[in-house]
């Protein structure tokens, strides 16, 4: 029987300390007006004493497990997407695995810039679909306040700290990722980087003096890449999912800059209420931004069971990743128990809706297979003619 990866739990963690644009005005030559008009950001959270990538991950994972009513010992794998681990070695994922008490779980840290969470979610779903694992925790987390140069106004106003985590569990009902695209264009690797502190230029007095251990960015190059990739990748995954635009209830993009989201929204022809934007509260939290926005969308009631949501990430690498998800956190049985307003109506309606949706997905998949089978000989013939 085919298996699917269902998100059953989620949780977020942000440091209590908030740094507003007005605070930044006291630190570098900038203004609230410049930051808001160019980025949409009003404030960001930054870690205080004792708060790290590991501590935020731990809090978000605990919340996700609690929500799903799963104990840490039941977790098979922990994937942590981050570019700002506590240490270069050991992997922060093992520290979280231990502190969480996930005694049976494997753990690894994934580095794919701001796209890390989408890469992690797709990876988790694959482990579940192949039947290897039942429960995988996926975390997007960053402590970027330790990686930015607080004297560089071009970067320090953009970033923030935070974490979001989800639990993906095996399910027999069609749900979870319907289509996805993971991409990389390493030809632009230097558009967002920390030049020093790695193996090419290990940490030294020179690195420290030149502040090369901090992030540097070619903002314009990233802006162009991000707006192009958001539009292309979202269009590709929606098409591949077999759904129509009307079936999409919410798009959750990486929260880098409200202008990027705005432009992509106009190019895609999407209504503003279908685009989740919370960059004004957190700034760019890189790998954490999509799971944080997912948690906020749920808190704000913008995502309901049965909805279709598109995730789209882009960032350092340069990388991008998009996925269409069917959002159905409860199993059918749990839904019946949890329905508050009209349990009788819901008990009749939800299984029917689920069955119709499953049939639709299966039919679309079969239709796509048939179309491919029919077209392949025609494509081959066409290629042979063109070669001649």
**Structure tokens belonging to residue 167:** 């639990």
233 binds ligand COA (CB under 6 A): no
Catalytic choice (61, 114, 156, 295): 114
Q: Please choose, out of 62-70, 149-157, 177-185, 229-237, the segment that lies near ligand COA by the rule CB under 6 A.
A: 149-157
217 binds ligand COA (CB under 6 A): yes
183 binds ligand COA (CB under 6 A): no
- Which DSSP string do the residues of 215-260 spell out, in sequence order? -EE-HHHHHHHHHHHHHHHHHHHHHHHT--GGG--EEEE--S-HHH
277 binds ligand COA (CB under 6 A): no
DSSP conformational letter for 328: -
x-or-dash pattern for ligand COA, window 8-37, by CB under 6 A?
----------------------x---x---
Taking CB under 6 A as the criterion, the residue among 93, 97, 241, 284 binding ligand COA is 284
326 classed as catalytic: no
Query: Mapped to the 3 state alphabet, what secondary structure does 50-118 carry?
Result: CCCHHHHHHHHHHHHHHHHCCCHHHCCEEEEECCCCCCCCCCHHHHHHHHHCCCCCEEEEECCHHHHHH
Kind plus residue range of the DSSP H or E element containing 327:
strand 319-327
114 binds ligand COA (CB under 6 A): yes
257 classed as catalytic: no
Instruction: State which residue has the least CB distance to ligand COA.
Output: 219
289 binds ligand COA (CB under 6 A): no
Can you list the positions of beta strands (E) in 146-231? 161-171, 176-184, 192-193, 216-217
236 classed as catalytic: no
Taking CB under 6 A as the criterion, the residue among 146, 153, 201, 267 binding ligand COA is 153
Backbone angles phi, psi at 78, to 5 degrees: -125, 125
The residues in 314-373 that bind ligand COA, with binding defined as CB under 6 A, are 315
CB neighbour list of residue 30: distance below 8 Å, 6 or more residues apart: 21, 24, 153, 157
Catalytic choice (21, 257, 278, 284): 284
Q: Which is nearer to ligand COA, 55 or 227 (CB)?
A: 227
Nearest to 283 by CA among 26, 21, 86: 21
> Where in the sequence numbering do the catalytic residues fall?
114, 254, 284
Binding site for ligand COA (CB under 6 A): 30, 34, 38-39, 114, 153-154, 157, 192, 217, 219-220, 222-223, 226, 256-257, 284, 315
């Amino acid at each position: 029987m085919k298996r699917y990866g269902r998100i059953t739990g989620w949780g977020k963690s942000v440091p209590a300390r908030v740094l507003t644009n007005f605070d930044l005005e006291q630190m570098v030559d900038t203004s609230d007006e410049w930051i808001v008009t160019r980025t949409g950001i009003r404030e960001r959270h930054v870690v205080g004493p004792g708060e790290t990538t590991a501590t935020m991950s731990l809090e978000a994972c605990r919340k996700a497990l609690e929500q799903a009513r799963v104990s840490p010992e039941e977790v098979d794998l922990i994937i942590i997407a981050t570019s700002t681990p506590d240490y270069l070695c050991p992997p922060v994922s093992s520290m979280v695995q231990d502190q969480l008490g996930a005694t049976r779980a494997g753990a690894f840290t994934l580095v794919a810039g701001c796209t890390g969470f989408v890469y992690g979610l797709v990876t988790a779903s694959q482990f579940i679909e192949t039947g290897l694992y039942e429960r995988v925790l996926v975390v997007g987390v960053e402590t970027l306040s330790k990686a930015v140069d607080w004297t560089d106004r071009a970067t320090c106003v953009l970033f923030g700290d935070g974490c979001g985590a989800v639990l993906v569990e095996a399910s027999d009902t069609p749900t979870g990722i319907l289509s996805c695209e993971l991409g990389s264009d390493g030809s632009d690797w230097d558009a967002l980087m920390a030049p020093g502190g790695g193996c090419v230029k290990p940490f030294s007095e020179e690195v420290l003096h030149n502040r090369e251990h901090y992030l540097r960015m070619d903002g314009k190059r990233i802006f162009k890449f991000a707006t192009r990739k958001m539009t292309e990748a979202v269009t590709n995954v929606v098409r591949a999912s077999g759904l129509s635009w009307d079936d999409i209830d919410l798009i959750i993009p990486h929260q880098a800059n409200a202008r990027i989201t705005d432009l992509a929204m106009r190019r895609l022809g999407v209504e503003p209420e279908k685009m989740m934007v919370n960059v004004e509260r957190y700034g760019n939290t890189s790998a954490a931004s999509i799971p944080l926005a997912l948690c906020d969308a749920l808190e704000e009631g913008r995502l309901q069971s049965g909805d279709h949501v598109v995730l789209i990430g882009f960032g350092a690498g340069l990388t991008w990743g998009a996925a269409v998800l069917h959002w159905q956190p409860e199993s059918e049985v749990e839904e019946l128990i949890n329905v508050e307003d009209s349990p009788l109506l819901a008990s009749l309606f939800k299984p029917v809706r689920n069955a119709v949706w499953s049939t639709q997905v299966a039919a679309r998949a079969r239709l796509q297979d048939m179309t491919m089978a029919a077209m392949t000989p025609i494509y081959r013939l066409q290629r042979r003619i063109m070669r001649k």
